[in-house]
Amino acid sequence: MLVRYIAKRLGLGILQLIGLVIGVFFIIRLLPADPVARLVGMNASPQAYAQAAHQLGLDRPLLTQLAIYLGFEPSVQPGLLQGSLGASWVTDSLVMSEIAQYLPVTITLVTLSFLLVLIVAVPIGMLGALNPGGRTDKGVFIYSLFAGSQPEFWWGLLFVYIFFFRLGIAPAPLGSLSPMTDPPAPITGFLLIDSLLEGQWSVFVEALDHLMLPVVTLAFVLSGPIIKMVRQNMLRALRSDFVLYADCVGLPRDIIARYALRAAMAPSMTLIGILYGFMLGGAVLVENVFSLGGIGQYAVRAVLAFDYPVIQGVVLVITAISLLVYLALDLFHAAIDPRIIV
């Protein structure tokens, strides 16, 4: 049953991706500018323009371009069917290898932030819900309002000012490692993992140190809505019949809280999963403030430069990850509530 469910979901996911690839291919070509202009900056003669358009393959008919991108013309250049996302029009590097460079940075940042949020937000949200209207609850309300009400880049800049510039306890916002440190040779692309695999303990510690402030910034901003949501869901669960019943039959409070948490987690996890997928592209402001070369920055630069292969590649990869996260969430749901699969 479960295997069939997963297979069905994956099949559906692939269909969604195919639709998306074709959709994005046409939509970005509706953007109000021509990517060739950027290339010929110094030299806009018609001949040079034609030459640049030819180099990018933009002089071919649109459907031919699509066929090449999808990989139906491997003699021209490898496409999606051959596992290639093409080369960036700005850097001439393979989009696949650039994504492999940028994506791990964002995944690390976002995953650590969500872990921190879960560690902090779930107990706080629960506490608030267990004593609605109490002092803790009011404190939680004010905190979540405060944390969620300012944009993350503002908090990031403020944290940089306080913890790096004023107090000197955080490292300079110069990326994942100090500029003078040699990064470990990429194995997985994840700095934290690679440094451990290669036994470079000091690099691992340095990377964690550099991640501290961005993770705290992102977690701080994300914790606002998540605490509120956990609190709401928990409150609803606490008022549900089965909890009232459990209370009436005299079950201990901690067991009741556990029951309620289980019921409250399902909807909370859905939102957290959606937020996670969203943050893969949406952490760009935090990446920017801390000079972390992540996928969000990469995507924004691609859009500003009208770098079609990169835009297409990033959308495809992020969507694929989001689909996998949703699938994992559904499986998690199913584990809590097996009725879902039927």
Partner 1 sequence: MPSSGKFLAAATAAFLAFTSLPASAAQILVLSEDVPAGLDSDGPSAAIPTSQSGMVNMLEPLVGYAAASVKEDGVIMPDFSKPVGLLAESWTYDPAALTWTFKLREGVKGCTGDTFTSADVIYTFARAKSVSGAAPIGWFLSNVASIKGFTTDVFGKDSKAKELGDGIVALDDYTVQIKQSQPNALLLPVLAIFGLQIFDKKIMEAHATAQDPWSHDYGNTVNAPGFGSYCLDSWQKGQSISYKANTNYYRGKPAIDKVVVRRVPESSNRVAVLRTGQAQLVTGLTPKEFDSLRSIAGITVEGVTGNQNLFEHMNFKSPPFDNPKVREAVSHAIPYDQIIATGYFGQATIWQGFVPSGYPGYVPSAKDFIYDPAKAKALLAEAGFPDGKGLEKFVDNLQLSYVSEKESTLGPIVNILQSSFRAIGIPVTLNPIPGTQYGDRQLVKGDLPFAVNDQEEPIGVDVGYAVQLFFVTKDKGGLYNMVNYSNSKVDDLWTKARVEPDANVRNQLLAEIQDQLAADVAWAPIVEYKTQWAMSSKLTGLRWYADNSIRFFDLTLR
Q: How many residues bind partner 1 (CB under 8 A)?
A: 55
Among 1, 4, 30, 47, binds partner 1 (CB under 8 A): 47
Interface residue with partner 1, options 79, 86, 125, 175 (CB under 8 A): 175
40 binds partner 1 (CB under 8 A): yes
48 makes contact with partner 1 (CB under 8 A): yes
Quick check: 168 binds partner 1 (CB under 8 A)?
yes
Binder among 64, 240, 270, 288 for partner 1 (CB under 8 A): 288
| Amino acid making up residue 281 | G
Judged by CB under 8 A, the residue of 298, 308, 313, 319 near partner 1 is 298
> Does residue 191 interact with partner 1 by CB under 8 A?
no
Amino acid making up residue 167: L
Q: What minimum distance in Å lies between the beta carbon of 202 and partner 1?
A: 15
Q: How far is the CB of 60 from partner 1 (least distance, A)?
A: 16
In the block, residue with structure tokens 């034609």: 50
Q: According to CB under 8 A, which one of 16, 55, 82, 188 is a site residue for partner 1? A: 55
Torsion of CA 215, 216, 219, 221, to 10 degrees: -120
Nearer to partner 1, 97 or 270 (CB): 97
- Torsion angle, alpha carbons of 222, 224, 230, 236, to 10: -140
Contact assessment for residue 261 and residue 292, using Cβ atoms and an 8 Å cutoff: no
Q: Which is nearer to partner 1, 75 or 149 (CB)?
A: 75
Under the criterion CB under 8 A, does residue 204 sit at the interface with partner 1? Answer: no
Nearer to partner 1 (CB atom), residue 12 or residue 31:
31
Residue numbers 311-340 binding partner 1 by CB under 8 A: none
25 binds partner 1 (CB under 8 A): no
Angle at 272 between CA 266 and CA 274, to 5 degrees: 110
Give the range of 8-16, 131-139, 155-163, 210-218 binding partner 1 by CB under 8 A. 155-163
148 binds partner 1 (CB under 8 A): no
- Identified binder of partner 1 from the candidate list 11, 15, 18, 93, rule CB under 8 A: 93
Q: Please provide residue 246's backbone torsions phi and psi, each rounded to the nearest 5 degrees.
A: -60, -40
Select the span of 122-130, 206-214, 238-246, 288-296 touching partner 1 (CB under 8 A): 288-296
Q: Does 185 interact with partner 1 (rule: CB under 8 A)?
A: no
Q: Does 82 bind partner 1 (CB under 8 A)?
A: no
Task: State the amino acid at position 333 in one-letter form.
Answer: H
The per-residue b/e assignment along 204-237, b for 16 or more CB within 10 angstroms, e otherwise, is bebbeebbbbbbbbbbbbbbbbbbbbbbbbbbeb
Shorter beta-carbon distance to partner 1: residue 18 or 37: 37
The yes or no reply on residue 52 touching partner 1 (CB under 8 A) is: yes
β-bridge partners, 87: 94
Q: Which of 98, 152, 194, 206 binds partner 1 (CB under 8 A)?
A: 98
Taking the C-alpha atoms of residue 341 and residue 282, their distance in angstroms, rounded to an integer, is 31
Show the CA angle centred on residue 327, arms to residues 325 and 329, nearest 5°: 70
One of 116, 120, 172, 197 touching partner 1 (CB under 8 A): 172
Task: Look at the block and give the residue holding tokens 């920017």.
Answer: 288
Residues in touch with partner 1 (CB under 8 A)? 32-45, 47-52, 55-56, 89-93, 98, 101-102, 157, 160-161, 164-165, 168, 172-175, 179-180, 182-183, 288-289, 291, 293, 297-298, 301, 303-306
